[in-house]
């Protein structure tokens, strides 16, 4: 198991990206969080197997139908434990 941070840039807010990411993560068995950032990007912190996380990153390049993804970056973090995958709202 490992934890990564995924930053998705482009037209990714207001297009159901967080909800779609949550549904995808749950379907893959990934736990973590997704949130909108002040710089109009979306950030996911996800814990799962390498294979699960690779599938989520691949999905992030597409996102939901109305999203226009310009860039996806990942960073490995120290292992974090989550009970489920949730949307963080401010």
The residues assigned a catalytic role are 18, 36
Provide the H-helix boundaries in 29-79. Answer: 50-60
Residue 21: Cβ-neighbour burial (10 angstroms; 0-12, 13-18, 19+): buried
């Amino acid at each position: 198991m490992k934890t990564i941070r995924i930053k998705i840039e482009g037209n990714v807010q207001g297009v159901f990206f967080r909800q779609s990411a949550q549904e995808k993560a749950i379907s893959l068995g990934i736990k973590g969080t997704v949130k909108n950032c002040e710089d109009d990007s979306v950030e996911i912190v996800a814990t799962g197997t390498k294979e699960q996380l690779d599938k989520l990153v691949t999905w992030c390049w597409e996102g939901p139908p109305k999203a226009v993804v310009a860039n996806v970056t990942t960073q490995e973090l120290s292992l974090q434990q989550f009970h489920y995958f949730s949307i963080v709202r401010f």
